[in-house]
A and B are shown apart, each in its own frame.
Chain A
Amino acid sequence: MVHLIEFCGKYAALDVESGSVHAIDREAMRVLTFKNAGKTNKQIRNDLGEGVEEVLQEIEELEQQGLLYSDPAENLSELKFNTPVIKALCLLVAQDCNLRCSYCFAETGEYHKNRALMSFDIAKKSLDFLVKHSGNRKNLEVDFFGGEPLINFDVVKKTVEYGRELEKKHDKIFRFTLTTNAYQVTDEMAEFLNREMKNVVISIDGRKEVHDKMRRDAGNHDTYDRVVKNAHKIVDGRGDKEYYIRGTFTHENLDFGGDVVAIADEGFDQISLEPVVTAKEYAIREEDLPQLKHEYEMLARHYVKRRKDGKGYNFFHFMIDLNSGPCLNKRLRGCGAGSEYLAVAADGSLYPCHQFAGIDKFYMGSVEEGTVDAGIKQAFCDTHIFTKKGCEECWAKYYCSGGCAANAWFDSGDLKTPYRIGCEMEKKRLEAAIAIKTFSDELV
């Protein structure tokens, strides 16, 4: 399978099975379009004239090298995955929040249940559970999430301290991360985060008016100015450690590229902006897609121009490693929700991921009992690109693994029916990422 990309007047070809990428001219684009339509070389010569001979020869040469129209690995769909072990937990240390964001999938922290803070006892048991279920995996991940995890800062601190003890005892490495709205960040918190967290994800939606419209505090006040100040308090002290300013865009700001630019203009250079999901009123609609796709193109050009001008930033979805990246095993399996990655609610209940937390149908057990529902785990293990509808034939399959299970379920009620609007956006982002790598400065 070869996917052809037309992006800002440039052409590229992705050989799906090998992962090879080629920059192509208009003539090659025409010939490859005909080949993709199933035409033989003879038919192509008839339709386009003898002048295409040179292109056909180049295509044949690349086919022989396994760089175009390469075959999939043998028996890939029958590949037996290694039994997955749990290596990552998302701890909902605070099912409560100091903000009241309009689009919050977690119901501003309640997660379909009641507001609650995780006790240290549950957090401790969560880490014990992770060590016990992680087999030979050395690197373990724990994300402090909410609600707003910093409103339960003491438990976060103690949990990290406990994790460091477990590292020595069990020869493991805990990689802690924390996702915060940065509304209330003391100097002590910032210093702690920058010392202990491998990654800190800070929620800012972009332009002040966009952010303040959606992300209001419990007293209905603006939050942007304070959040940006606190975000700098954290980011300016992180040195070369990872962070992301992570925003959400909705149906109300389809010109989200302006929000990415606003975040970059605030002096942040690690940016992720994600479409909202599961918030009906603000959800991205089918009719929004043309504008969103155009916006990704504009953003790609801005991205390249800023780099060229020496004021570059990283945009999460444009960072693609074409030369290596994850192995095929990983690409087939996806994020690992429900099998390698679980969420722990404040009361110790286990769910396939943070987005399923509080939904009874997806309750998988608890860290106190120490057991995991085998049926739900298996259902998630069985959800991969060979079982999800339409994925096996899709060119983007090795870059998204069929997309987010939660998005699929909230959209259609079926884990194996991908969220179509999400697919369309993901494909456009991938095309942009490939185009940036392929053409770089030529895009502006």
Chain B
Amino acid sequence: MKHIKTVTKNNLKDTLISGGCGECQTSCQSACKTSCTLGNQKCEKKEK
């Protein structure tokens, strides 16, 4: 494509089925303690 270059193909909807185990880190326990940021969190399943 000339005008649009896809950088990341993603489908968040798929993670509804695969996700939800709750084993991941609580976001507030990471580094912020005052804001809720999730985009930089890791999935515990994918870490393995």
Partner-B contacts on A (CB < 8 A): 12-13, 17-25, 27-28, 54-55, 58-59, 61-62, 65-67, 72-73, 76, 79, 82, 84-85, 87-88, 90, 105, 137-139, 141, 143, 175, 177, 179, 199, 201, 244, 246, 248, 270, 272, 274-277, 316-317, 319-331, 334-337, 340-341, 353-355, 398-407, 422, 426, 429-430, 433, 437-438
Within 8 A of A (CB), among B1-48: 1-13, 15-16, 18-20, 22-44, 46
Please indicate the chain A residues that have their CB under 8 angstroms from the CB of B16 in the complex. 73, 76, 79, 327-329
Please indicate the chain B residues that have their CB under 8 angstroms from the CB of A58 in the complex. 1-4
Give 15 new A-B contacts, CB below 8 A, not counting A326-B41, A353-B28. A20-B9, A54-B3, A58-B2, A62-B6, A65-B9, A67-B9, A246-B32, A316-B31, A317-B40, A321-B39, A323-B8, A323-B10, A340-B22, A400-B35, A437-B8
Please state if A272 and B31 are interface contacts (CB–CB under 8 Å). yes
Cα(A79)–Cα(B19), bound, Å: 13
Cα(A27)–Cα(B8), bound, Å: 20
Chain B at the A interface: SS class = loop
CB<8 Å pairs between A and B, sample of 26: A17-B13, A20-B8, A20-B10, A21-B6, A21-B10, A58-B3, A58-B4, A61-B1, A66-B11, A88-B26, A88-B28, A246-B31, A246-B33, A274-B32, A274-B35, A276-B34, A324-B10, A325-B40, A325-B42, A326-B19, A331-B38, A335-B26, A336-B26, A398-B38, A400-B38, A406-B34
Please state if B7 and A437 are interface contacts (CB–CB under 8 Å). yes
Chain A at the B interface: SS class = mixed
Q: Which 6 pairs between the two chains have the least Cβ-Cβ distance?
A: A327-B19, A19-B10, A327-B15, A399-B39, A329-B20, A244-B31
Please state if B3 and A25 are interface contacts (CB–CB under 8 Å). yes
B9 to nearest A CB, angstroms? Answer: 6
Please state if A326 and B23 are interface contacts (CB–CB under 8 Å). no
Cα(A275)–Cα(B13), bound, Å: 32
Look across to chain B and name the residue whose beta carbon is closest to the beta carbon of A28: B3
Residue from the list B5, B12, B19 in contact with A23, Cβ < 8 A: B5
Please state if B22 and A399 are interface contacts (CB–CB under 8 Å). no
Please indicate the chain B residues that have their CB under 8 angstroms from the CB of A67 in the complex. 6, 9
Please state if B19 and A330 are interface contacts (CB–CB under 8 Å). yes
Please indicate the chain B residues that have their CB under 8 angstroms from the CB of A201 in the complex. 31, 33
Cα(A51)–Cα(B36), bound, Å: 43
Please indicate the chain A residues that have their CB under 8 angstroms from the CB of B23 in the complex. 137-139
Q: A17-B12, A335-B26 are in contact. Are A27 and B40 (CB under 8 A)?
A: no
Please state if B27 and A334 are interface contacts (CB–CB under 8 Å). yes
Cα(A69)–Cα(B28), bound, Å: 31
B27 to nearest A CB, angstroms? Answer: 5
Cα(A430)–Cα(B33), bound, Å: 18
B33 to nearest A CB, angstroms? Answer: 7
Residue from the list B11, B15, B33, B35 in contact with A329, Cβ < 8 A: B15
Partner-A contacts on B (CB < 8 A): 1-13, 15-16, 18-20, 22-44, 46
Residue from the list B33, B43, B46 in contact with A354, Cβ < 8 A: B33
Cα(A353)–Cα(B3), bound, Å: 46
Cα(A137)–Cα(B46), bound, Å: 17
Please indicate the chain B residues that have their CB under 8 angstroms from the CB of A438 in the complex. 7
Please indicate the chain B residues that have their CB under 8 angstroms from the CB of A319 in the complex. 40
A140 to nearest B CB, angstroms? Answer: 10
Central interface residue in B9, B19, B31, by most chain A CB within 10 Å: B31
Please indicate the chain A residues that have their CB under 8 angstroms from the CB of B18 in the complex. 327
Cα(A433)–Cα(B39), bound, Å: 10
Please state if B29 and A141 are interface contacts (CB–CB under 8 Å). yes
Cα(A340)–Cα(B42), bound, Å: 17
Central interface residue in A201, A326, A328, by most chain B CB within 10 Å: A326
Cα(A65)–Cα(B8), bound, Å: 13
Please indicate the chain A residues that have their CB under 8 angstroms from the CB of B24 in the complex. 326, 330
Please state if A141 and B34 are interface contacts (CB–CB under 8 Å). no
Please indicate the chain A residues that have their CB under 8 angstroms from the CB of B7 in the complex. 12, 21-23, 322, 437-438
B35 to nearest A CB, angstroms? Answer: 5
Cα(A353)–Cα(B33), bound, Å: 9
A279 to nearest B CB, angstroms? Answer: 11
Look across to chain B and name the residue whose beta carbon is closest to the beta carbon of A329: B20
Please state if B25 and A141 are interface contacts (CB–CB under 8 Å). yes
Cα(A207)–Cα(B31), bound, Å: 19
Please state if B4 and A13 are interface contacts (CB–CB under 8 Å). yes
Please indicate the chain A residues that have their CB under 8 angstroms from the CB of B33 in the complex. 179, 201, 246, 274, 354
Cα(A254)–Cα(B4), bound, Å: 35
